[in-house]
Amino acid sequence: MESERLPRGADPSHHLKLGRGGLSDVEWVVQILQLNHAHRYPRMRTTETLAALQVAVNEELVESADGQILADAWRTATGIRNAITLVTGRSSNVLPSDPRVVAGVAHVLGYPVADRGLLMEDYLRVSRRARNVMERLFYGWE
């Protein structure tokens, strides 16, 4: 599945949508929760990922800490995607490699100019955590 998701040659740690711990991982977890539980919890019947995730947390289908990790990853990836569009005028699902674009995206997201590398570190950290949660909840891996 992993090899079929990503475009050829894409770095799975830098793809905001299809990479490890990216948007799709979070959305798949939420969708499997919806498939399994929305018949009992009608508020889960929504297309809003974070709203459905919050219902899953509120109903104790997902531990609060896991829900927070998934929500943080989703917000971080979405924020970066939106900032890339603002900075470059084009949408992209890949973390930028051009230092000027990284600096612009970091600035839009409120990172200090001297710490633009922190943006990449933050994304890699939250996506790694989200991937661990996804593997446990989606695949049942411990």
28-37 pLDDT, tens digit each = 999 999 999 9
In this structure, is residue 130 part of a structural domain?
yes
Range of the domain at 67: 12-138
What is the tens place of the pLDDT at every residue in 37-78?
999 999 999 999 999 999 999 999 999 999 999 999 999 999
In this structure, is residue 28 part of a structural domain?
yes
In this structure, is residue 34 part of a structural domain?
yes
- What is the 3-class SS of 55-90, one letter each residue? HHHHCCCCCHHHHHHHHHHHHHHHHHHHHHHHHHCC
Minimal CA–CA distance to 108: which of 91, 126, 75, 86? Answer: 86
User: Residue 2: its pLDDT value, please?
Assistant: 62
In this structure, is residue 2 part of a structural domain?
no
Q: Which parts of 7-139 fold into alpha helices (H)?
A: 23-37, 49-58, 64-88, 99-108, 116-138
Query: How many domains is the chain built from?
Result: 1
Looking at 4-13, 40-49, 102-111, which range is the least confident one?
4-13
User: Residue 52: its pLDDT value, please?
Assistant: 98
Query: What's the rounded mean pLDDT across residues 5-19?
Result: 86
In this structure, is residue 5 part of a structural domain?
no
CATH number of the domain encompassing residue 39: 1.20.120.330
